[in-house]
Amino acid sequence: MLHRDAPQSRQHLAYLFWPDSTESQAHTNLRNLLYHLREALPEADCFLDVSSKTLWWQPDAPFSVDLDAFQEALNRAEGAKKSGDDRDLRQALQNAADTYNGDLLPSCYDDWIIPERERLSQAYIRILEELVDILEGDQEFGEAIKKAQQLLRHDPLHEATSRKLMELYALNGDTPRALRTYHTCAAALEKELGLEPSLATQETYEQLLARDLEGEKPPRITEKGTILVGREKPFKELLKTWRKLTSGPHLVIIKGEAGIGKTFLAEEFMRWTRQQGVQSLKTRSYPTEGEVAYTSLMTLLRNERGQAGLPALEEAWLVELTRLLPELKGAYPDLPDPEELSESWQRGRLFEACARAILEDKDRLVVLLDDLHWCDRETLAWLRYMMELDTKTKLLFLGGVRAENLTPENPVSSLITDLGQRGLVTEIELSSLDREATTALAASIWGDSLEDPIGELLFQETEGNPLFVVEVVRSGYLQGADDPARTSSIPPKIQAVIKTRLDALSPAARELTNLAAIVGREFDFQLLSQAADQEEEAILQGLDELWQRRVIRDQGVEGYDFSHDKFREVICQDLSPHRQTHLHLRIAQALEMLHRAQLDAISSQLGYHYQQAGKRDLAAEYYIQAGDHARRVYAWMDAIDAYRQALDNLGDKADSQLINLYQGWGNSLLKLARYEEAAEAYQKMGLAAKAGGDLRSETQAYLALGKAQDRQGEFQSALANAEKAADLAGEKGWDEESADAKLLIGQQHYRLGEAVQAEVYVQKALALHHKRKDQLGVGRCLNLLGLVQDLRGQFQEACEYKEQAIKVFEKIPGRHSKWWIGNITLNLANSANLGGEYRRAVDLYQKAWGIMAEIQDQDWELLCLFNLGGARVGLEEYQEAERDLQEVLGRTESNGWLGLSLTHYFLAEAYLGQGKIKQGEESARKALTLARESGSNDFLGSAWRVLGKVTSQKGKDLQLDQTTMPARACFQESLRIFREAGADGEQAYTLKAWGAHELKSGDKKEGEKLWAQAREIFQRLGMKAELERMERDEKDA
């Protein structure tokens, strides 16, 4: 491609690619490479001219090369420069800059590519430099800044660009960003190269200070050569893990106490990988309350490298990202709003969008998740998603974790355990430095060797904690090291060292630390300027002083943070409660002012700060807003926490806020399958609505409560609340609530095995949904009518209703319809299962499971797994059925799931099929107990049938409720229940099982009579598979 203007010798190419191979082997390698190229490139012969001697990209082939476009843009720029037309030159340079899409073949490290890559890179740098100068001359400082930033992204260590950017910011009246540009430049040079900024850069910085700030520049605390000390073994372990990883994700947990050097080790490794051309991202978590869901993930996405892949994403993924990054609407104004849906499966779409954004165009990536033990739950959920991702990217996550924070309650603990069992985690534990390493570390910072007595004293006092060693040296305690009295004054606690450092600050800088500590996380100039009672110049000078003294460091895109959390802890300890209250109020008001267009994103922080400031009404308002926002991004636990905080601040007020709070709280609990708690929240919602005279909200509360009780299996209670909702909605003429209530009533009659009543109410709901032209409601009604027909044994009619429902949902735009298609596919599988077509049922269940897994709806994945177990029982695959059903119980038995009775019923069948009579009896008894609690005739009939089978296999009557129950009595009770419910198919199954028992007991006449009745029903219902099974069983008998 690079030399497509002329044929290339095969011999030359073979030597170039494989210089260490023999000539024969090199030619063989080239032939193999051509073979794979032809496989990968469609119609390869249209592009390649291959002869025995040469290879050539055909110049007239239908392809374009971005390198050509860039070279043409360069030529046009050169022509414009010669013509002296400034307007044309500016446009040509802009076109050339836009055409450059990144370094040439960045993943190739062969020597032959380096000169051409460097030539193109230098050309790109020259273009941007010229363009910056032209824009500056035209006084278009904003555009010039953008191009300078673009240049700096291309080469972060290009000092001249940093200087130019500082000057442009100053010309644009943005001194804070000019100041931060110098801080970032100095930190990068020190970290990457061990150098200070050049004299020219320092002079620019000092001129900026002299022009805009009063007072002297504080002395910069330098680290003359900080090195990785005492960590050679863990560093080698990191290298080993990285080199072993070929593709896909892996997590390294760097564990140790606070200050032990976890972050430094990780950053040194990242610096090494960057030198190898590997891209890296970094985020940090904080221990503060009021954290927004996905905080750490949003930091990654807002990183320049994280955003580099956004232009290549399809619109659908950008739309998902606006849930977390609303500012994308500014860059992409034509993006539609994301769908207002709250189904749990849709979080998978959001996670995939974030993954695509971060991994786009990256073949190797290292991501540091610092202080992972404080990470928000939703970022952890995304991390779990990433660890299961099938990607070709070589992806290494580094997680810094304080060992003392890894309690069993911390979700990071279970994440490490789960991933560790699958071989996806490497744990590295750091311990204190020994005496030799302690002295070496102190000397590297001090810039001179330390005498033995000093090194020994330092080791005794710091106990080898690297953080303490660094802070002792920075604090100046080694000044006058020859004076024994001076060195012996090293404080025994790090808090004292830090306090000494803080006491050395100017009053203005010290006041800024108080404000920044109360913020609780990274901060920027705008926030401090809005909240501080200081002039802008004083804030700038204070920030610079804090940076010079290494109290703060640059963090994130434009922010700062404390060098370590111990500074924040010590500062907060010294602030009186009254002072803290005052600062929280100022920060809350500043955040409101700065983010007034996007308050949702920081509502949790606002709630926290107003709560700490004693403004409980405002705190409650923002916590409710935070809960609502968390639900929109599927952060259910964060939503629950926010609503709980809101309730603590609201007290017993009966108003609309309380109604909204309990409704959102209940919806969040429902999504987490915490049905009992959800029902309690909905009950409180109803009480608040009733106390406030809000009948519509009261109606909605009855509906929500009924749905929660339905999920618990409390069908009679759910029916009663649905009827209350229907009465209220009917009185007021609210068609929407009336339709939902009638559908819920029909659903409960269906659950209770009352097919006739169910069909009546569902038909009424269907008519109302047709009247409202609510296609979603129409589809739901058709689906439920199909289920009712299943109950009646009318399986063909059932399938027809369900297929009509699928057609309705196929016409509804949006991904929500896909969920319903998966749901109804599951129900079609149920029809096949009930009709005895078990193999077809298994195939359909697996198809439905695939849909639900794709959209990550764990609740319905569970239903698919449960039904799959039941179908395997029908296929007599009893061991597989036991495995599936035990997994269902493991995930549901503690939360009151509605299907527990039938799960135990199928499990009892699976045990009996394997001859495990004792376990079968235990599961059958549980099925009966749970069926009685639910009141479902379907569940009761099934439980009595399997108890009859247990009794038959035992050859001994059951003792149940102080009553002796022979097998015949169990079957009779099952048959009675199913006859009253009109469930013909279930009657046939019971008659078949009863007949088998009578035949086994020697009553051939009665057994054949019962089998004849079962056969007649199976024939009437068209259940061919069951008829074939009966014929087989008769032959075996």
Task: Set out the domains of the chain in order of their start, with CATH numbers.
Answer: 8-57 (no CATH), 232-429 (3.40.50.300), 437-494 (no CATH), 501-602 (1.10.10), 618-851 (1.25.40.10), 898-1036 (1.25.40.10)
Phi-psi group of 21: left, alpha or beta (phi > 0 → left; psi -120 to 50 → alpha; rest → beta):
beta
> Residues in the chain with pLDDT < 50?
214-215, 224-225, 486-490
HEC secondary structure over 109-176: CCHHHHHHHHHHHHHHHHHHHHHHHHHHHCCCHHHHHHHHHHHHHHCCCCHHHHHHHHHHHHHCCCHH
Tokens of 889: 């119980």
pLDDT (tens digit per residue) in 132-158: 888 888 888 889 998 888 888 888 888
Compute CA distances 251 → 126, 375, 383, 569, whole Å. Answer: 40, 15, 9, 29
Instruction: State how far the Cα of 1037 lies from the Cα of 1023, in Å rounded to an integer.
Output: 21
Tokens of 384: 């779990």
Q: Is the separation of the CB atoms in 508 and 529 below 8 Å?
A: no
Task: Give me the pLDDT at residue 891, please.
Answer: 74
3-state class percentages of the chain: helix first, strand second, coil last, to nearest 5? 70, 5, 25
Residue type, 766: L
CA end-to-end span of the chain: 76
Instruction: State how far the Cα of 26 lies from the Cα of 439, in Å rounded to an integer.
Output: 54
CA gyration radius, the chain? 36
Kindly compute the dihedral angle of the four CA atoms of residues 204, 208, 209, 212, in this order, to the nearest 10 degrees: 170
Question: Hey, is 307 helix, strand or coil?
Answer: helix
Q: How many CA atoms lie within 13 A of 331 on its CB side?
A: 12
Q: What are phi and psi of 426, to 5 degrees?
A: -120, 130
Nearest residue to 826 via CA among 849, 808, 856: 849
Instruction: State how far the Cα of 846 lies from the Cα of 851, in Å rounded to an integer.
Output: 9
Q: pTM for the complete prediction?
A: 0.67
Task: Give me the pLDDT at residue 487, please.
Answer: 44
Tokens of 835: 């009709």
Task: Give me the pLDDT at residue 987, please.
Answer: 93
Nearest residue to 521 via CA among 291, 300, 294: 291
Instruction: State how far the Cα of 721 lies from the Cα of 709, in Å rounded to an integer.
Output: 9
Task: Give me the pLDDT at residue 1010, please.
Answer: 94
Provide the pairing of β-strand 48-50 with 248-256: unpaired
Q: Is the separation of the CB atoms in 712 and 666 below 8 Å?
A: no
Compute CA distances 844 → 793, 965, 1026, whole Å. Answer: 19, 38, 19
Tokens of 101: 């899409």
Q: Is the separation of the CB atoms in 618 and 630 below 8 Å?
A: no
Residue type, 657: Q
Which residues are paired to 57 by β-bridges? 48
To 5 degrees, how large is the angle CA 525–CA 530–CA 531? 100
Where b means 16+ CB within 10 Å and e means fewer, 744-768 reads bbbbbbbbbbbbebbbebbebbbeb
Compute CA distances 217 → 544, 550, 567, whole Å. Answer: 8, 14, 22
Instruction: State how far the Cα of 418 lies from the Cα of 438, in Å rounded to an integer.
Output: 36
Instruction: State how far the Cα of 135 lies from the Cα of 986, in Å rounded to an integer.
Output: 81
